[in-house]
Amino acid sequence: MPETGINSTFSKSTGLPRKRFYRARAHSNPLSDSHFPVPLSPSHVDYSLHYPHFFPSSDQADSSKKIKFADIGCGFGGLLISLSTLFPETLMIGMELRDKVSEYVKERILSLRVANPGQYQNISVVRTNSMKYIPNHFEKAQLSKMFFLFPDPHFKEKNHRRRVISPFLLDEYAFVLEVGGIIYTITDVEELGDWMKTCLENHPLFEPLTEKELETDPAVKLLSSATEEGQKVARNDGQTFQAVYRRIAASDQIS
């Protein structure tokens, strides 16, 4: 491969990182012990590294502003970038297990910030295993939206415990979501769509959104259109299956 200069991983016309240099496998084993720093607790998350515009110094005295949206398995970051301009005052983070992909999203956000001064300051990305370390990143009831777009389907029954939506992991998502917070899931795999819907349906801390609520929610429209995976499905005239549920307060029966 010919080296064309220091910044050759970036496109000359747009200044954005070129995806071909960040190619990664589509799957990653969530069960292995990976090596990346994990914050000891949510209070150890350094907001000044992620959002320097909102937190100019690492002194976190003014920590009233917290991350409200989490895109779990953000992939190449398409959803984050669309959400950023839709909710410019809301802090959001993408979580991605694949090192190269999270590296790409990081570069992409930095270039977007340079190209559009004042914009895209509210989004960031972290390389982590969200199935293991969600409680290390977010406090109880901190989040108002969680996104799970086109997750790895893990078809084999033996590997179902690797799925990012599962009855037990929903307990942890319910913990970090505020009451009224919304969990968005979408997939192009019918079997996984059924699985995610069933998991959410059977969980005592979630209820489905009504048809009307789905129509008025601006984030729902982005589910199938904003991400790279979603666009690929649309190009191939594929079908998508979504499940959008709201976190509800615990009733007396379960507590």
* Binding residues vs other proteins (CB under 8 A): 1, 3, 6, 8-9, 17, 20-23, 31, 33, 35, 40-42, 99-100, 103-104, 131-133, 135-136, 140, 161, 167-172, 174-175, 203-205, 250, 253-255
- Of 103 and 152, which has the nearer Cβ to other proteins? 103
What's the CA gap between 44 and 189, in Å, rounded?
A: 37
- Alpha carbons 57 and 215: distance in angstroms, whole number: 40
**Cβ at position 223, least distance to other proteins in Å:** 25
Q: Which amino acid is at 242?
A: Q
CB of 119 to other proteins, least distance (A): 24
Q: Where does residue 139 rank: exposed (0-12), middle (13-18), buried (19+ CB within 10 A)?
A: middle
User: Which residue's CB is nearer to other proteins, number 4 or number 216?
Assistant: 4
If the CB atoms of residues 31 and 49 are measured against other proteins, the closer one turns out to be 31
Check 152, 188, 237, 252 and give the catalytic one. 152
- Phi then psi dihedrals of residue 234, to 5 deg: -65, -40
99 is catalytic: no
- Output the smallest distance, CB 171 to other proteins, in A: 5
Of 133 and 241, which has the nearer Cβ to other proteins? 133
Residue 181 has phi, psi (to 5 degrees) of -65, 155
CA atoms within 13 A on the CB side of 16: 13
Q: Which is nearer to other proteins, 172 or 178 (CB)?
A: 172
Longest dimension (CA), the chain: 66
Rg (CA), the chain: 18
Give the type of residue at 238: G
In the complex, minimum distance from the CB of residue 205 to other proteins, in angstroms, rounded to a whole number: 6
Active site residues: 152
